[in-house]
Structure 1
Amino acid sequence: MNEESAPGTRRPGGRTARTRAAVRDAVLTGLSEHGYPGLTVEYVAEHSGVHKTTLYRRWGDIEGLVADALDLAGEDSWLPPDTGTLEGDLCALAQEVVQSFADREVGASGSAIIAAAFHSERAAGALRAYYAERFGRCEIIVERAAERGELPSTPEAAVDAGALVRAAAAPVFFRLFITREPVDTTLAVQSAAATVAAARAGAFTVGARKTPAP
């Protein structure tokens, strides 16, 4: 399968990489300004400097452009926090979410991408893959905590690392996109503390969760 038929399946450099970056930036700007329903290939062509014929050939349509923008966003070198404690790491992680959406430019494009996922199944799939990869990087937070003795590390009491790190960020996303409440450092601290307390109570222990009796 070649690069043109499957954008994002290879990681070329040079001119191709610059083109992808320019297209990504135009897509994110367009989503922020007009939302997914108002984003057009013509807009992306005008703002990226890439001819629309090339856009159609390499990305197919708007869905392909949005999906590749997310794919490219997941290729960075970001690493999760390493503060020395589980609660500190989770607090820093939640705080990063708070800060990213507090930033006008970053928050607008991030919100627009999430909104696009409600209009396009392909965009939704790309968004799921992006966050799965992001939270996958964060699982080392739980591994380090287990090595320090902050969490169980035996096979009989293994912790679901993915569920745990998601729980720390979930309250922030809930306020941002469901209740539309303000988010701040206090929320990040509360989210981390609640997640650690739940973890110590066994809420994220694999095999320990049971359906409550009626």
Structure 2
Amino acid sequence: MTEPSHRSRRTGGRSARVRQAVVDAAVTVLLERGPDHFSVAEVATKAGVHETSIYRRWRTRENLIVDALLATSGAVIPVPDTGSVRGDLIELARSVATYLTHPAGATFTRAAAVHVDDETIAAARRKFWESRLQLAAVIIERGIQRRELPRATDARLVLETVIAPLHMRVLLTHEPIDDTLPERIVDLICAGLSGTDTSISALSATGGPRVDD
């Protein structure tokens, strides 16, 4: 996957240029200070605009943080095609883990989780995640076509179950994501999808059952 980027396409017009300057400054401050110490005043200084102008347009620091991230997200997590559902899900989980353990990726993820009171920005965030889940759903669709998975498999639920434990460690428990975690998560999910009778304790100890590819 690519390293998070904070460049975006520039459009014409003074308003667009000012917005781009604020967005670029916001991402810079976010990377330098993190979401907890993000300051609108510092963004205004870096962008060369009045702080009141930022509040007039975005209203809250949280709205600015999320809008800037959505407008400048250049991070791409590729959809793997290894020939098996298990392999694809492991590669996807590893890519997500790599992104989350990158300092910029971890910062962006924490910042993107903040509450916003602007419905337009909230809707853009929902659309952002929907598009990525839909893109990755091809992994499950291929698995159904290869008869590795039941036809009624819920692609969104499977994908959410793969990535949620990784995000939990970054956002909630602040535990490290070790190299074996992506595979252990996927094997636990594959065991459930295949109806394998394997205890959670056994999965934790052995790294999970293998699903026939």
Scaled by the length of structure 1, the TM-score of the pair is: 0.68
The verdict on how the C-alpha distance between 1:182 and 1:200 changes in structure 2, with shifts beyond 3 A counting, is same
Alignment-derived partner of residue 85 in structure 2:
86
Structure 1 residue 14 corresponds to structure 2 residue 11: yes
Structure 1 residues 49-75: Cα deviation after superposition (integer angstroms, max 9, x where no partner): 455465345434423312312432567
Q: For the residues of structure 2 that align with 1:133 and 1:74, how far apart are their CA atoms?
A: 13
Contact kept, 8 Å, 1:70 with 1:127, in 2: the verdict is: no
Structure 1 residues 113-169: Cα deviation after superposition (integer angstroms, max 9, x where no partner): 33x33xx4559946555433322321111111111221122xxxx111100011111
Contact kept, 8 Å, 2:77 with 2:92, in 1: the verdict is: no
Shift of 1:29: 3.6
Alignment-derived partner of residue 7 in structure 1:
none
Structure 1 residue 173 corresponds to structure 2 residue 167: yes
Shift of 1:88: 1.3
The verdict on how the C-alpha distance between 1:20 and 1:197 changes in structure 2, with shifts beyond 3 A counting, is farther
Q: Percent identity?
A: 33
Contact kept, 8 Å, 2:29 with 2:38, in 1: the verdict is: yes
Alignment-derived partner of residue 154 in structure 2:
160
Instruction: Output aligned runs, 1:123-134, within 5 Å.
Output: 125=122, 127-134=125-132
Q: For the residues of structure 2 that align with 1:77 and 1:100, how far apart are their CA atoms?
A: 9
The AA in structure 2 aligned to 1:23 is V
The verdict on how the C-alpha distance between 1:30 and 1:12 changes in structure 2, with shifts beyond 3 A counting, is closer
Gaps of 5+ in 2: 1-7, 197-213
Q: For the residues of structure 2 that align with 1:20 and 1:196, how far apart are their CA atoms?
A: 46
Shift of 1:183: 0.6
Shift of 1:81: 2.2
Q: For the residues of structure 2 that align with 1:141 and 1:148, how far apart are their CA atoms?
A: 11
Shift of 1:14: 2.7
Q: What number of residue pairs does the alignment pair up?
A: 185
Q: CA RMSD in A?
A: 3.4
Q: For the residues of structure 1 that align with 2:163 and 2:193, how far apart are their CA atoms?
A: 14
The verdict on how the C-alpha distance between 1:85 and 1:121 changes in structure 2, with shifts beyond 3 A counting, is farther
Scaled by the length of structure 2, the TM-score of the pair is: 0.68
Q: For the residues of structure 2 that align with 1:77 and 1:104, how far apart are their CA atoms?
A: 16
